[in-house]
Amino acid sequence: MEDWITGYKIPFGALMNVIISFIKVNGRAPLESVTDALRFLIEGLATVLQWPPPLVTILLIAGLAWALHRRIGLALFVAAALLFILNQGYWDATMETLALVASSTLVSVIIGVPLGILAGHRPMVYAVMRPILDIMQTLPTFVYLVPTLVLFGLGVVPGLISTVVFAIPAPIRMTRLGIVSVPKPLLEAGLAFGATERQLLWKVELPAAVATIMAGINQCIMLSLSMVVIAALVGAGGLGKPVVRALNTVNIPMGFEAGFAIVLLAIVIDRIARTGDSKGGGQ
């Protein structure tokens, strides 16, 4: 029986190779357009972030943390963390990483939130979507890094697309959860006042689900940041690049410096983006 099962191999890998080759040959113009647009987005954001002097950017980010949460301790921590990154010589790489994370999060939200709303309103759509999302979250990142590298070449674009594939299930799932969790009496009240489906979405469902949606966006940001080292393997810059270089050369100081900079950046982004903290509270 075992010999019979293994005697004929289902050509799954060969089929995927044919599909990728077909897309590469016949979709050259759309692929180049997508590549140019995404590269312009990431490089434009990186240029904007690197344009002000570092100390000005640090003050602006610390001021943003204080304005959002009204916690002086958080603002001081953000300033100290960014000053440490500047001191270690990884400021430009940090801004490149921040541009990559912001770009991937923006693309994921633009695509993921509408899909989450659709999944919340159409259970059959979510039934089809759910196994796809499961595959996107569980498939090893190196597997879909290969086709993106073949289709888009070396550089920051395949890193961005791989990051989006890895991170986009979070806003889709959380947006869908927020929509289906809207209390039925709230929906019935909206219908009783004569609200249309569009008015019900914008004035009832989305305001009620905004906390859950923001939690999904926060997860998306953290997942995007976790991909910076993987993205560096295909030519993306940022903090992942010195980590990969340290791994190849067994450079312990560089590895710890760049790795700790990633950790600090993740904590800073998480604390600023977190919406559940009460203003004026303690650390």
Distance CA 159, CA 104 (A): 9
Q: What would the mean pLDDT of 107-129 be, rounded to a whole number?
A: 91
Burial of 112 (0-12, 13-18, 19+ CB in 10 A): buried
pLDDT tens by residue, 128-171: 999 998 888 888 777 777 788 778 777 788 888 888 888 899 99
Q: What's the pTM value of the predicted model, to 2 decimals?
A: 0.82
Distance CA 62, CA 182 (A): 35
Q: What is the pLDDT of residue 74?
A: 87
Concatenating the DSSP letter of every residue in 74-109 gives: HHHHHHHHHHHHHHHT-HHHHHHHHHHHHHHHHHHH
pLDDT tens by residue, 38-66: 888 888 888 888 888 989 999 999 998 89
Q: Residue 65 has what DSSP assignment?
A: H
Residue indicated by tokens 């590269």: 39
First to last CA, the chain: 63
Letter for the amino acid at 54?
P
Q: Is residue 13 scored above 80 in pLDDT?
A: no
Q: What is the pLDDT of residue 59?
A: 92
Query: Mean pLDDT of all residues in the chain?
Result: 84
Distance CA 130, CA 134 (A): 6
Find all residues with CB under 8 Å of 93, minimum gap 6, and list them: 237, 238, 239, 241, 242, 258, 261
195: left (phi over 0), alpha (psi -120 to 50) or beta: beta
44 C-beta neighbours (distance < 10 Å), count: 12
Closest among 232, 255, 267 to 100, alpha carbons compared = 232
Distance CA 144, CA 231 (A): 12
